[in-house]
Chain A
Amino acid sequence: MTLPEDYLSYPHRKHGMDHTLYPYSNLFERKAVHWPESKTVALWVTVCLEYFPLVPNDGPVRAPGAMVTPYPDYRTYTAREYGNRVGVFRILKVLDALGVKASFPINAAIATRYPFLLDEITKRGHEVVGHGVDMNGVSAGGMDPAVEAAQIKEALDVLRANSGQPVKGWLSPARSESENTFSILAKNGVKYCCDWVNDDMPYTMQTPSGNVLSMPHTYELEDRHLLTVLGQNEETYQAQIMNAFSLFTQESKKYGGRILHLSLTPYVIGQAWRIKTLKEVLERLVKSGHVWTATGDEIAQYWQAGQD
Protein backbone atom coordinates (compact mmCIF):
# COMPACT_ATOMS: atom_id res chain seq x y z
CA MET A 1 0.00 0.00 0.00
CA THR A 2 1.46 3.35 -0.94
CA LEU A 3 1.10 6.44 1.20
CA PRO A 4 -1.44 9.16 0.40
CA GLU A 5 -0.06 12.02 -1.71
CA ASP A 6 -0.31 14.45 1.18
CA TYR A 7 2.40 12.47 2.96
CA LEU A 8 4.70 14.67 0.86
CA SER A 9 3.03 17.94 1.82
CA TYR A 10 4.65 19.99 4.53
CA PRO A 11 2.30 22.62 5.99
CA HIS A 12 4.74 23.89 8.65
CA ARG A 13 7.84 24.04 6.46
CA LYS A 14 8.72 27.65 7.11
CA HIS A 15 11.00 29.78 9.25
CA GLY A 16 10.93 28.98 12.95
CA MET A 17 9.19 26.26 14.89
CA ASP A 18 6.31 24.06 13.71
CA HIS A 19 4.13 25.25 16.61
CA THR A 20 3.41 28.53 18.42
CA LEU A 21 4.56 27.77 21.97
CA TYR A 22 7.93 29.54 21.67
CA PRO A 23 10.11 31.08 18.97
CA TYR A 24 13.47 29.61 17.98
CA SER A 25 16.40 30.93 19.96
CA ASN A 26 20.12 30.18 19.93
CA LEU A 27 21.35 29.80 23.51
CA PHE A 28 24.62 31.51 22.71
CA GLU A 29 23.02 34.70 21.41
CA ARG A 30 20.96 35.48 24.49
CA LYS A 31 21.38 38.09 27.14
CA ALA A 32 23.87 36.89 29.74
CA VAL A 33 22.59 36.35 33.27
CA HIS A 34 24.72 37.07 36.34
CA TRP A 35 23.87 35.02 39.42
CA PRO A 36 24.18 36.41 42.96
CA GLU A 37 27.66 36.80 44.42
CA SER A 38 29.19 36.29 40.96
CA LYS A 39 28.54 32.55 41.10
CA THR A 40 28.91 30.89 37.71
CA VAL A 41 26.46 28.01 38.03
CA ALA A 42 23.06 27.87 39.71
CA LEU A 43 22.66 24.42 41.24
CA TRP A 44 19.02 23.44 41.07
CA VAL A 45 18.14 20.18 42.79
CA THR A 46 14.69 18.68 42.34
CA VAL A 47 13.47 15.70 44.35
CA CYS A 48 10.26 14.04 43.15
CA LEU A 49 7.82 12.66 45.72
CA GLU A 50 5.51 10.36 43.85
CA TYR A 51 2.62 8.09 44.71
CA PHE A 52 2.04 5.18 42.35
CA PRO A 53 -1.40 3.61 42.94
CA LEU A 54 -1.48 -0.19 42.99
CA VAL A 55 -3.95 -0.02 40.10
CA PRO A 56 -2.11 1.79 37.29
CA ASN A 57 -3.97 3.98 34.83
CA ASP A 58 -4.83 2.47 31.48
CA GLY A 59 -4.58 5.69 29.50
CA PRO A 60 -2.21 6.24 26.60
CA VAL A 61 0.74 7.19 28.85
CA ARG A 62 1.75 5.21 31.88
CA ALA A 63 4.33 6.98 34.04
CA PRO A 64 7.80 5.44 34.29
CA GLY A 65 7.89 3.72 37.64
CA ALA A 66 4.26 2.56 37.48
CA MET A 67 3.14 -1.00 38.19
CA VAL A 68 4.32 -3.61 35.71
CA THR A 69 3.24 -7.08 36.85
CA PRO A 70 -0.33 -8.41 36.93
CA TYR A 71 -2.35 -7.11 39.87
CA PRO A 72 -1.37 -6.88 42.66
CA ASP A 73 2.16 -5.67 41.86
CA TYR A 74 3.43 -5.53 45.42
CA ARG A 75 7.04 -5.48 44.34
CA THR A 76 6.75 -2.24 42.39
CA TYR A 77 4.30 -0.58 44.77
CA THR A 78 6.49 -1.15 47.80
CA ALA A 79 9.74 -0.35 45.97
CA ARG A 80 8.31 3.09 45.16
CA GLU A 81 7.07 3.52 48.73
CA TYR A 82 10.65 2.93 49.87
CA GLY A 83 11.47 6.32 48.38
CA ASN A 84 8.85 8.14 50.43
CA ARG A 85 9.65 6.31 53.69
CA VAL A 86 13.40 5.84 53.63
CA GLY A 87 15.15 7.32 50.60
CA VAL A 88 13.80 10.84 50.94
CA PHE A 89 15.02 11.11 54.55
CA ARG A 90 18.52 10.14 53.46
CA ILE A 91 18.35 12.85 50.81
CA LEU A 92 17.05 15.43 53.30
CA LYS A 93 19.95 14.67 55.61
CA VAL A 94 22.44 15.29 52.80
CA LEU A 95 20.72 18.55 51.84
CA ASP A 96 20.65 19.64 55.50
CA ALA A 97 24.34 18.98 55.94
CA LEU A 98 25.26 21.08 52.92
CA GLY A 99 22.63 23.78 53.38
CA VAL A 100 21.16 23.11 49.96
CA LYS A 101 17.61 24.34 49.34
CA ALA A 102 15.86 22.14 46.79
CA SER A 103 12.59 22.03 44.88
CA PHE A 104 10.26 19.10 45.56
CA PRO A 105 7.72 18.19 42.88
CA ILE A 106 5.07 16.46 44.99
CA ASN A 107 1.96 14.53 44.05
CA ALA A 108 -1.11 15.83 45.88
CA ALA A 109 -1.64 12.27 47.13
CA ILE A 110 1.64 12.51 49.06
CA ALA A 111 0.45 15.68 50.78
CA THR A 112 -2.80 14.06 51.92
CA ARG A 113 -1.46 10.58 52.68
CA TYR A 114 1.82 11.62 54.33
CA PRO A 115 1.35 15.08 55.89
CA PHE A 116 4.36 14.43 58.12
CA LEU A 117 6.58 14.16 55.06
CA LEU A 118 5.22 17.37 53.54
CA ASP A 119 5.94 19.20 56.82
CA GLU A 120 9.51 17.90 56.83
CA ILE A 121 9.95 19.46 53.39
CA THR A 122 8.36 22.82 54.14
CA LYS A 123 9.84 23.38 57.58
CA ARG A 124 13.30 23.18 56.02
CA GLY A 125 12.40 25.89 53.53
CA HIS A 126 12.44 23.66 50.46
CA GLU A 127 10.18 24.66 47.59
CA VAL A 128 6.99 22.69 46.90
CA VAL A 129 6.30 22.18 43.18
CA GLY A 130 3.08 20.88 41.65
CA HIS A 131 3.36 17.36 40.27
CA GLY A 132 -0.16 16.13 39.58
CA VAL A 133 -2.65 14.37 41.81
CA ASP A 134 -0.71 11.11 41.75
CA MET A 135 1.28 9.20 39.15
CA ASN A 136 -1.93 8.08 37.45
CA GLY A 137 -2.90 11.72 36.93
CA VAL A 138 -1.05 11.99 33.67
CA SER A 139 -1.88 14.62 31.06
CA ALA A 140 -1.85 13.30 27.51
CA GLY A 141 -2.90 14.37 24.06
CA GLY A 142 -6.52 13.62 23.25
CA MET A 143 -7.80 13.69 26.82
CA ASP A 144 -10.90 15.66 27.78
CA PRO A 145 -9.65 19.21 28.51
CA ALA A 146 -12.10 19.52 31.40
CA VAL A 147 -10.70 16.39 33.03
CA GLU A 148 -7.17 17.63 32.62
CA ALA A 149 -8.02 21.09 33.94
CA ALA A 150 -9.75 19.57 36.96
CA GLN A 151 -6.86 17.28 37.87
CA ILE A 152 -4.25 20.03 37.53
CA LYS A 153 -6.38 22.40 39.63
CA GLU A 154 -6.95 19.75 42.27
CA ALA A 155 -3.23 18.98 42.48
CA LEU A 156 -2.38 22.65 42.96
CA ASP A 157 -5.25 23.33 45.39
CA VAL A 158 -4.25 20.44 47.63
CA LEU A 159 -0.57 21.38 47.67
CA ARG A 160 -1.27 25.05 48.29
CA ALA A 161 -3.72 24.34 51.09
CA ASN A 162 -1.42 21.86 52.83
CA SER A 163 2.00 23.41 52.30
CA GLY A 164 1.27 27.07 52.97
CA GLN A 165 3.34 27.87 49.87
CA PRO A 166 2.12 29.63 46.71
CA VAL A 167 3.29 26.65 44.57
CA LYS A 168 4.50 28.43 41.44
CA GLY A 169 6.33 25.56 39.75
CA TRP A 170 5.02 22.49 37.96
CA LEU A 171 6.39 19.18 36.75
CA SER A 172 3.89 17.02 34.87
CA PRO A 173 3.72 13.38 35.93
CA ALA A 174 5.80 11.48 33.35
CA ARG A 175 6.58 14.95 31.86
CA SER A 176 3.57 14.25 29.69
CA GLU A 177 1.48 17.09 28.31
CA SER A 178 -1.55 17.66 26.16
CA GLU A 179 -1.81 20.64 23.84
CA ASN A 180 -3.79 22.42 26.58
CA THR A 181 -1.40 21.83 29.48
CA PHE A 182 0.47 25.14 29.38
CA SER A 183 -2.73 27.09 29.02
CA ILE A 184 -4.22 25.32 32.05
CA LEU A 185 -1.04 25.92 34.05
CA ALA A 186 -1.08 29.63 33.19
CA LYS A 187 -4.72 29.93 34.26
CA ASN A 188 -3.87 28.29 37.58
CA GLY A 189 -1.11 30.71 38.46
CA VAL A 190 1.82 28.46 37.58
CA LYS A 191 4.90 30.57 36.78
CA TYR A 192 7.32 27.91 35.64
CA CYS A 193 7.22 24.39 34.29
CA CYS A 194 10.06 21.89 34.03
CA ASP A 195 8.80 19.30 31.54
CA TRP A 196 10.79 20.34 28.48
CA VAL A 197 14.39 19.25 27.95
CA ASN A 198 15.30 21.37 24.92
CA ASP A 199 17.38 24.06 26.58
CA ASP A 200 20.05 24.68 29.19
CA MET A 201 18.49 27.99 30.34
CA PRO A 202 14.95 29.28 30.97
CA TYR A 203 12.82 30.57 28.13
CA THR A 204 9.21 31.68 27.78
CA MET A 205 6.29 29.50 26.72
CA GLN A 206 3.47 31.57 25.26
CA THR A 207 -0.18 30.59 25.61
CA PRO A 208 -3.43 32.50 25.06
CA SER A 209 -3.91 32.39 28.84
CA GLY A 210 -0.52 33.86 29.64
CA ASN A 211 3.17 33.03 29.71
CA VAL A 212 4.85 30.27 31.64
CA LEU A 213 8.60 30.02 32.02
CA SER A 214 10.19 26.77 30.87
CA MET A 215 12.94 25.79 33.27
CA PRO A 216 15.69 23.53 31.91
CA HIS A 217 15.11 19.96 32.99
CA THR A 218 18.18 17.74 32.67
CA TYR A 219 16.71 14.36 31.88
CA GLU A 220 20.11 13.20 30.63
CA LEU A 221 21.55 13.47 34.14
CA GLU A 222 18.52 12.13 35.99
CA ASP A 223 19.43 9.46 38.54
CA ARG A 224 16.59 7.18 37.48
CA HIS A 225 17.50 7.40 33.79
CA LEU A 226 21.26 6.90 34.19
CA LEU A 227 21.29 4.38 37.02
CA THR A 228 18.19 2.28 36.43
CA VAL A 229 17.32 2.67 32.74
CA LEU A 230 20.81 2.86 31.24
CA GLY A 231 22.34 0.74 33.99
CA GLN A 232 25.34 2.99 34.62
CA ASN A 233 27.18 2.87 37.92
CA GLU A 234 27.44 5.53 40.61
CA GLU A 235 30.97 6.62 39.66
CA THR A 236 29.86 7.23 36.09
CA TYR A 237 26.83 9.16 37.30
CA GLN A 238 29.01 11.39 39.44
CA ALA A 239 31.66 11.88 36.76
CA GLN A 240 29.09 13.04 34.23
CA ILE A 241 27.57 15.55 36.64
CA MET A 242 31.04 16.96 37.25
CA ASN A 243 31.67 17.07 33.48
CA ALA A 244 28.51 19.11 33.02
CA PHE A 245 29.55 21.44 35.85
CA SER A 246 32.96 21.88 34.29
CA LEU A 247 31.54 22.77 30.87
CA PHE A 248 29.00 25.17 32.35
CA THR A 249 31.75 26.86 34.36
CA GLN A 250 33.77 27.37 31.17
CA GLU A 251 30.79 28.65 29.22
CA SER A 252 29.80 31.05 31.97
CA LYS A 253 32.98 33.06 31.39
CA LYS A 254 31.81 33.97 27.92
CA TYR A 255 28.05 33.58 28.00
CA GLY A 256 26.96 34.32 31.58
CA GLY A 257 25.61 32.15 34.37
CA ARG A 258 24.41 28.64 33.69
CA ILE A 259 22.07 26.23 35.49
CA LEU A 260 22.98 22.72 36.58
CA HIS A 261 19.77 20.83 37.23
CA LEU A 262 19.88 17.53 39.10
CA SER A 263 16.69 15.50 39.11
CA LEU A 264 16.61 13.10 42.04
CA THR A 265 14.35 10.14 42.68
CA PRO A 266 14.21 8.98 46.30
CA TYR A 267 13.68 5.32 45.43
CA VAL A 268 16.81 5.47 43.23
CA ILE A 269 19.46 7.77 44.70
CA GLY A 270 18.08 7.25 48.20
CA GLN A 271 19.15 3.60 48.22
CA ALA A 272 21.61 2.79 50.99
CA TRP A 273 24.48 2.05 48.61
CA ARG A 274 23.93 5.19 46.54
CA ILE A 275 23.36 7.97 49.04
CA LYS A 276 27.08 8.55 49.62
CA THR A 277 27.44 9.26 45.91
CA LEU A 278 24.89 12.04 46.21
CA LYS A 279 26.67 13.41 49.25
CA GLU A 280 30.02 13.34 47.46
CA VAL A 281 28.86 15.01 44.30
CA LEU A 282 26.88 17.73 46.09
CA GLU A 283 29.86 18.37 48.35
CA ARG A 284 32.16 18.76 45.39
CA LEU A 285 29.75 21.19 43.74
CA VAL A 286 29.00 23.25 46.84
CA LYS A 287 32.62 23.36 48.01
CA SER A 288 33.84 24.45 44.59
CA GLY A 289 32.75 27.93 45.62
CA HIS A 290 31.26 28.53 42.17
CA VAL A 291 27.67 27.46 42.69
CA TRP A 292 24.61 29.30 43.81
CA THR A 293 22.27 26.71 45.28
CA ALA A 294 18.73 27.86 44.77
CA THR A 295 15.18 26.66 44.28
CA GLY A 296 13.48 26.70 40.91
CA ASP A 297 11.37 29.68 41.94
CA GLU A 298 14.44 31.67 43.03
CA ILE A 299 16.27 30.90 39.80
CA ALA A 300 13.23 31.70 37.68
CA GLN A 301 12.68 35.04 39.43
CA TYR A 302 16.31 36.01 39.27
CA TRP A 303 16.54 35.09 35.61
CA GLN A 304 13.35 36.99 34.80
CA ALA A 305 14.55 40.11 36.59
CA GLY A 306 17.70 40.06 34.48
CA GLN A 307 15.74 40.03 31.23
CA ASP A 308 14.12 43.45 31.71
Chain B
Amino acid sequence: MKADPNLYGYWPYINRPKITWPGGKKLAFWLAPNIEFYELDPPANPNRKSWPRPYPDITGYSYRDHGNRVGHWRLMEMMDEFGIRGSVSLSTAMCQHHPEIIEACNQRKWEFFSHGIYNTRYTYGMSRAQEDAMIKDSIQTVFEATGQKVRGYLAPALTHSEHTIELLAENDIWYSCDLFQDDQPQPLKIEGHKKLISMPYSLEVNDHYAFNVYGQSAQQYSDLLIRHFDQLLEEGGDSGTVMCIPVHAYLIGRAHRMGPFRQVLEHIAAHKDDVWISTAAEIAAYYRDHCYDAALESIASYRKKGE
Protein backbone atom coordinates (compact mmCIF):
# COMPACT_ATOMS: atom_id res chain seq x y z
CA MET B 1 0.00 0.00 0.00
CA LYS B 2 1.12 3.56 -0.76
CA ALA B 3 0.64 6.71 1.28
CA ASP B 4 0.38 8.78 -1.92
CA PRO B 5 -1.49 7.29 -4.87
CA ASN B 6 0.87 9.26 -7.14
CA LEU B 7 -1.69 9.61 -9.92
CA TYR B 8 -1.24 13.31 -10.66
CA GLY B 9 1.12 16.15 -9.88
CA TYR B 10 0.21 19.04 -7.62
CA TRP B 11 -1.19 21.82 -9.80
CA PRO B 12 -2.54 24.91 -8.05
CA TYR B 13 -5.72 26.52 -9.38
CA ILE B 14 -3.95 29.75 -10.41
CA ASN B 15 -1.89 30.74 -13.46
CA ARG B 16 -2.85 27.68 -15.43
CA PRO B 17 -2.65 27.72 -19.24
CA LYS B 18 -5.90 29.20 -20.47
CA ILE B 19 -8.49 26.77 -21.76
CA THR B 20 -11.01 28.10 -24.26
CA TRP B 21 -13.71 25.63 -25.17
CA PRO B 22 -14.96 25.36 -28.78
CA GLY B 23 -16.81 28.47 -29.95
CA GLY B 24 -15.06 30.53 -27.30
CA LYS B 25 -17.19 29.00 -24.53
CA LYS B 26 -16.14 29.35 -20.90
CA LEU B 27 -17.73 26.33 -19.31
CA ALA B 28 -18.04 22.81 -20.64
CA PHE B 29 -21.19 21.25 -19.20
CA TRP B 30 -22.05 17.59 -19.17
CA LEU B 31 -24.80 15.62 -17.53
CA ALA B 32 -24.06 12.10 -16.31
CA PRO B 33 -27.06 9.86 -15.65
CA ASN B 34 -25.85 6.77 -13.84
CA ILE B 35 -27.82 3.92 -15.38
CA GLU B 36 -27.17 1.04 -13.06
CA PHE B 37 -28.17 -2.50 -12.34
CA TYR B 38 -27.90 -3.75 -8.79
CA GLU B 39 -28.22 -7.51 -8.41
CA LEU B 40 -30.70 -8.88 -5.89
CA ASP B 41 -28.31 -11.72 -5.05
CA PRO B 42 -24.74 -10.75 -5.92
CA PRO B 43 -21.80 -12.94 -4.89
CA ALA B 44 -20.20 -11.89 -1.61
CA ASN B 45 -17.17 -9.63 -1.69
CA PRO B 46 -15.16 -9.98 1.53
CA ASN B 47 -14.29 -6.27 1.46
CA ARG B 48 -17.72 -4.77 1.03
CA LYS B 49 -21.24 -5.93 1.73
CA SER B 50 -23.69 -5.41 -1.14
CA TRP B 51 -26.84 -4.97 0.91
CA PRO B 52 -27.26 -4.26 4.61
CA ARG B 53 -29.98 -6.91 5.06
CA PRO B 54 -29.82 -10.63 4.24
CA TYR B 55 -30.93 -11.82 0.79
CA PRO B 56 -33.38 -10.70 -0.47
CA ASP B 57 -32.90 -7.10 0.69
CA ILE B 58 -35.83 -5.74 -1.24
CA THR B 59 -35.63 -2.29 0.32
CA GLY B 60 -32.37 -1.27 -1.35
CA TYR B 61 -33.05 -3.28 -4.49
CA SER B 62 -36.48 -1.81 -5.15
CA TYR B 63 -35.25 1.70 -4.31
CA ARG B 64 -32.78 1.47 -7.20
CA ASP B 65 -35.02 -0.44 -9.59
CA HIS B 66 -37.29 2.62 -9.66
CA GLY B 67 -34.74 4.34 -11.89
CA ASN B 68 -35.07 1.81 -14.67
CA ARG B 69 -38.87 1.47 -14.54
CA VAL B 70 -39.80 5.09 -13.90
CA GLY B 71 -37.10 7.69 -13.29
CA HIS B 72 -35.01 7.14 -16.39
CA TRP B 73 -37.89 7.76 -18.77
CA ARG B 74 -38.92 10.87 -16.89
CA LEU B 75 -35.38 12.28 -16.88
CA MET B 76 -34.76 11.46 -20.53
CA GLU B 77 -37.92 13.26 -21.59
CA MET B 78 -36.82 16.36 -19.72
CA MET B 79 -33.32 16.23 -21.20
CA ASP B 80 -34.89 15.95 -24.67
CA GLU B 81 -36.76 19.17 -24.02
CA PHE B 82 -33.51 20.98 -23.30
CA GLY B 83 -31.55 19.24 -26.05
CA ILE B 84 -29.11 17.78 -23.54
CA ARG B 85 -27.45 14.49 -24.43
CA GLY B 86 -26.44 12.32 -21.50
CA SER B 87 -23.01 10.86 -20.92
CA VAL B 88 -24.13 7.64 -19.32
CA SER B 89 -22.25 6.04 -16.47
CA LEU B 90 -23.37 2.54 -17.36
CA SER B 91 -23.53 -0.72 -15.47
CA THR B 92 -22.89 -2.47 -18.74
CA ALA B 93 -25.01 -5.53 -17.87
CA MET B 94 -27.87 -3.11 -18.53
CA CYS B 95 -27.20 -3.86 -22.22
CA GLN B 96 -28.45 -7.38 -21.49
CA HIS B 97 -31.10 -6.67 -18.83
CA HIS B 98 -32.81 -3.59 -20.22
CA PRO B 99 -31.74 -3.01 -23.85
CA GLU B 100 -34.90 -0.89 -24.20
CA ILE B 101 -33.19 1.84 -22.18
CA ILE B 102 -29.86 1.50 -23.97
CA GLU B 103 -31.49 1.74 -27.39
CA ALA B 104 -33.48 4.82 -26.41
CA CYS B 105 -30.30 6.56 -25.23
CA ASN B 106 -28.28 5.47 -28.24
CA GLN B 107 -30.93 6.78 -30.63
CA ARG B 108 -30.50 10.16 -28.96
CA LYS B 109 -26.75 9.99 -29.53
CA TRP B 110 -26.01 9.84 -25.83
CA GLU B 111 -22.55 8.68 -24.87
CA PHE B 112 -21.94 5.55 -22.81
CA PHE B 113 -18.96 5.11 -20.57
CA SER B 114 -18.12 2.15 -18.40
CA HIS B 115 -19.27 1.94 -14.80
CA GLY B 116 -18.35 -1.75 -14.58
CA ILE B 117 -20.65 -4.69 -15.22
CA TYR B 118 -22.92 -4.40 -12.18
CA ASN B 119 -22.92 -1.89 -9.37
CA THR B 120 -22.89 -4.87 -7.01
CA ARG B 121 -19.53 -6.25 -8.26
CA TYR B 122 -16.75 -4.49 -6.48
CA THR B 123 -13.14 -4.09 -7.57
CA TYR B 124 -11.87 -4.73 -4.04
CA GLY B 125 -9.96 -7.99 -3.97
CA MET B 126 -9.75 -8.41 -7.75
CA SER B 127 -6.41 -9.43 -9.19
CA ARG B 128 -4.98 -7.16 -11.88
CA ALA B 129 -6.05 -9.74 -14.47
CA GLN B 130 -9.58 -9.95 -13.07
CA GLU B 131 -10.00 -6.19 -13.10
CA ASP B 132 -8.61 -6.02 -16.63
CA ALA B 133 -11.05 -8.72 -17.75
CA MET B 134 -13.95 -6.85 -16.14
CA ILE B 135 -12.96 -3.59 -17.86
CA LYS B 136 -12.52 -5.30 -21.25
CA ASP B 137 -15.87 -7.09 -20.88
CA SER B 138 -17.59 -3.78 -20.17
CA ILE B 139 -16.01 -2.09 -23.19
CA GLN B 140 -16.88 -4.99 -25.49
CA THR B 141 -20.45 -5.14 -24.18
CA VAL B 142 -21.09 -1.47 -24.92
CA PHE B 143 -19.54 -1.81 -28.38
CA GLU B 144 -21.73 -4.79 -29.25
CA ALA B 145 -24.89 -3.13 -27.97
CA THR B 146 -24.37 0.38 -29.33
CA GLY B 147 -21.44 0.48 -31.76
CA GLN B 148 -19.79 3.01 -29.42
CA LYS B 149 -16.17 2.89 -28.32
CA VAL B 150 -16.06 3.48 -24.58
CA ARG B 151 -13.85 6.48 -23.78
CA GLY B 152 -14.52 6.95 -20.09
CA TYR B 153 -14.65 5.05 -16.83
CA LEU B 154 -16.08 5.31 -13.37
CA ALA B 155 -15.31 2.28 -11.25
CA PRO B 156 -18.38 0.25 -10.20
CA ALA B 157 -19.66 1.62 -6.90
CA LEU B 158 -16.48 3.75 -6.89
CA THR B 159 -14.43 0.74 -5.83
CA HIS B 160 -10.85 0.97 -7.00
CA SER B 161 -7.59 -0.92 -6.93
CA GLU B 162 -4.03 0.34 -7.25
CA HIS B 163 -4.19 -0.88 -10.87
CA THR B 164 -7.38 0.84 -11.94
CA ILE B 165 -5.90 3.97 -13.49
CA GLU B 166 -3.10 2.22 -15.39
CA LEU B 167 -5.57 -0.37 -16.69
CA LEU B 168 -7.72 2.42 -18.10
CA ALA B 169 -4.77 3.75 -20.09
CA GLU B 170 -3.93 0.24 -21.32
CA ASN B 171 -7.51 -0.18 -22.51
CA ASP B 172 -7.45 3.02 -24.54
CA ILE B 173 -9.72 4.91 -22.17
CA TRP B 174 -9.38 8.68 -22.53
CA TYR B 175 -10.88 9.90 -19.28
CA SER B 176 -11.41 8.74 -15.73
CA CYS B 177 -14.21 10.06 -13.52
CA ASP B 178 -12.74 8.39 -10.46
CA LEU B 179 -10.73 11.25 -8.95
CA PHE B 180 -12.12 14.38 -7.37
CA GLN B 181 -9.18 16.73 -6.91
CA ASP B 182 -10.16 19.43 -9.40
CA ASP B 183 -12.72 21.45 -11.40
CA GLN B 184 -10.68 21.21 -14.61
CA PRO B 185 -9.53 18.17 -16.53
CA GLN B 186 -5.88 17.28 -16.21
CA PRO B 187 -3.37 14.66 -17.37
CA LEU B 188 -2.86 11.63 -15.15
CA LYS B 189 0.59 10.15 -14.61
CA ILE B 190 0.83 7.21 -16.96
CA GLU B 191 3.85 5.31 -18.29
CA GLY B 192 4.41 5.68 -22.02
CA HIS B 193 2.49 7.94 -24.34
CA LYS B 194 -1.10 7.39 -23.30
CA LYS B 195 -3.13 10.54 -22.86
CA LEU B 196 -5.39 9.61 -19.97
CA ILE B 197 -7.03 12.53 -18.23
CA SER B 198 -8.97 13.02 -15.05
CA MET B 199 -12.42 14.41 -15.86
CA PRO B 200 -14.27 16.46 -13.23
CA TYR B 201 -17.26 14.40 -12.18
CA SER B 202 -17.99 16.49 -9.09
CA LEU B 203 -18.86 14.04 -6.35
CA GLU B 204 -19.97 16.86 -4.06
CA VAL B 205 -22.79 17.78 -6.45
CA ASN B 206 -23.81 14.16 -7.07
CA ASP B 207 -27.49 13.68 -6.28
CA HIS B 208 -26.63 10.72 -4.05
CA TYR B 209 -24.49 12.95 -1.87
CA ALA B 210 -27.08 15.71 -1.85
CA PHE B 211 -30.05 13.53 -0.95
CA ASN B 212 -28.68 10.55 0.92
CA VAL B 213 -25.47 11.80 2.50
CA TYR B 214 -26.32 15.45 3.20
CA GLY B 215 -30.09 14.97 3.45
CA GLN B 216 -30.94 17.91 1.22
CA SER B 217 -34.31 18.61 -0.29
CA ALA B 218 -34.85 18.78 -4.04
CA GLN B 219 -34.95 22.58 -3.88
CA GLN B 220 -31.72 22.83 -1.88
CA TYR B 221 -30.01 20.61 -4.41
CA SER B 222 -31.24 22.69 -7.32
CA ASP B 223 -30.15 25.90 -5.62
CA LEU B 224 -26.65 24.56 -4.98
CA LEU B 225 -26.31 23.36 -8.57
CA ILE B 226 -27.21 26.82 -9.83
CA ARG B 227 -24.68 28.47 -7.50
CA HIS B 228 -22.06 25.91 -8.54
CA PHE B 229 -22.76 26.66 -12.19
CA ASP B 230 -22.62 30.44 -11.72
CA GLN B 231 -19.26 30.27 -9.97
CA LEU B 232 -17.68 27.89 -12.50
CA LEU B 233 -18.98 30.03 -15.35
CA GLU B 234 -17.40 33.12 -13.81
CA GLU B 235 -14.08 31.32 -13.32
CA GLY B 236 -14.33 29.89 -16.83
CA GLY B 237 -13.69 33.40 -18.17
CA ASP B 238 -10.12 33.09 -16.89
CA SER B 239 -9.67 29.50 -18.03
CA GLY B 240 -12.33 27.08 -19.17
CA THR B 241 -13.96 25.00 -16.45
CA VAL B 242 -15.96 21.78 -16.53
CA MET B 243 -19.20 21.19 -14.72
CA CYS B 244 -20.70 17.75 -14.47
CA ILE B 245 -24.01 16.94 -12.83
CA PRO B 246 -23.88 13.27 -11.87
CA VAL B 247 -27.35 11.93 -11.21
CA HIS B 248 -29.23 8.70 -10.64
CA ALA B 249 -32.70 8.34 -12.11
CA TYR B 250 -33.82 6.52 -8.96
CA LEU B 251 -33.07 9.71 -7.03
CA ILE B 252 -33.53 12.73 -9.30
CA GLY B 253 -36.30 11.00 -11.26
CA ARG B 254 -38.69 10.90 -8.29
CA ALA B 255 -41.84 12.93 -8.77
CA HIS B 256 -41.02 15.46 -6.04
CA ARG B 257 -37.60 16.27 -7.48
CA MET B 258 -38.19 16.77 -11.18
CA GLY B 259 -39.73 20.25 -10.87
CA PRO B 260 -36.78 21.77 -8.97
CA PHE B 261 -34.31 20.00 -11.28
CA ARG B 262 -36.01 21.57 -14.27
CA GLN B 263 -35.03 24.99 -12.86
CA VAL B 264 -31.36 23.96 -13.10
CA LEU B 265 -31.62 22.92 -16.73
CA GLU B 266 -33.52 26.12 -17.52
CA HIS B 267 -30.77 28.16 -15.86
CA ILE B 268 -28.04 26.40 -17.82
CA ALA B 269 -29.94 26.68 -21.09
CA ALA B 270 -30.36 30.41 -20.50
CA HIS B 271 -26.55 30.80 -20.51
CA LYS B 272 -25.90 28.72 -23.60
CA ASP B 273 -23.95 31.49 -25.34
CA ASP B 274 -21.18 30.93 -22.78
CA VAL B 275 -21.62 27.24 -22.17
CA TRP B 276 -20.56 24.29 -24.26
CA ILE B 277 -23.28 21.71 -23.58
CA SER B 278 -21.43 18.57 -24.50
CA THR B 279 -20.55 15.03 -23.56
CA ALA B 280 -17.61 13.84 -21.54
CA ALA B 281 -15.99 12.09 -24.52
CA GLU B 282 -16.23 15.25 -26.63
CA ILE B 283 -14.71 17.32 -23.83
CA ALA B 284 -11.93 14.74 -23.41
CA ALA B 285 -11.24 14.66 -27.17
CA TYR B 286 -10.97 18.44 -27.33
CA TYR B 287 -8.75 18.52 -24.26
CA ARG B 288 -6.37 15.90 -25.67
CA ASP B 289 -5.97 17.86 -28.89
CA HIS B 290 -5.80 21.40 -27.55
CA CYS B 291 -4.96 21.50 -23.86
CA TYR B 292 -3.09 18.35 -22.84
CA ASP B 293 0.48 19.31 -23.80
CA ALA B 294 0.33 22.76 -22.24
CA ALA B 295 -1.09 21.26 -19.08
CA LEU B 296 1.72 18.72 -18.82
CA GLU B 297 4.30 21.45 -19.17
CA SER B 298 2.60 23.61 -16.56
CA ILE B 299 2.28 20.75 -14.08
CA ALA B 300 5.97 19.89 -14.55
CA SER B 301 6.93 23.35 -13.26
CA TYR B 302 5.46 22.45 -9.85
CA ARG B 303 7.43 19.24 -9.37
CA LYS B 304 8.45 18.37 -5.87
CA LYS B 305 12.07 18.80 -4.87
CA GLY B 306 14.10 15.84 -6.11
CA GLU B 307 11.44 14.69 -8.61
Contacts and interface: CB of A to CB of B under 8 A. Distances in A.
Interface in A233-288: 236, 239-241, 243-244, 246-248, 251, 258, 260
Which of A3, A28, A179 has the most chain B CB within a 10 Å cutoff? A3
Interface in B197-227: 211, 215, 217-220
A265 B54 CA distance: 26
Q: Chain A's interface: helix, strand, loop or mixed, by majority? A: loop
Interface residues of A, number: 57
Assign chain B's interface to a size class.
35 or more
Contacts of A198: 61-66, 69-70
SS class of chain B's interface: helix, strand, loop or mixed?
helix
Contact of A142 (B45, B54, B130, B220): B54
Contact of A8 (B46, B56, B134, B259): B134
A6 B126 CA distance: 11
Interface in B144-202: none
Interface in A192-233: 195-200, 219-221, 229-232
A5 B129 CA distance: 10
Given A24-B68, A247-B255, A236 B117 contact: no
A15 interface: yes
Interface stretch (B7-15, B82-90, B96-104, B231-239): B96-104
Contacts of A260: 255
Of A2, A8, A61, A219, most buried by chain B (CB within 10 Å of CB) is: A8
B217 A1 contact: no
Interface of B: 37, 39-41, 43, 45-46, 53-59, 61-66, 68-70, 73-74, 93, 96-100, 117-118, 121, 125-127, 130, 133-134, 137, 211, 215, 217-220, 254-260
Given A26-B73, A221-B256, A236-B220, 4 more contacts: A197-B66, A220-B256, A243-B257, A243-B258
Interface of A: 1-3, 5-8, 10, 12-19, 24-28, 60-61, 140-142, 174-179, 195-200, 219-221, 229-232, 236, 239-241, 243-244, 246-248, 251, 258, 260
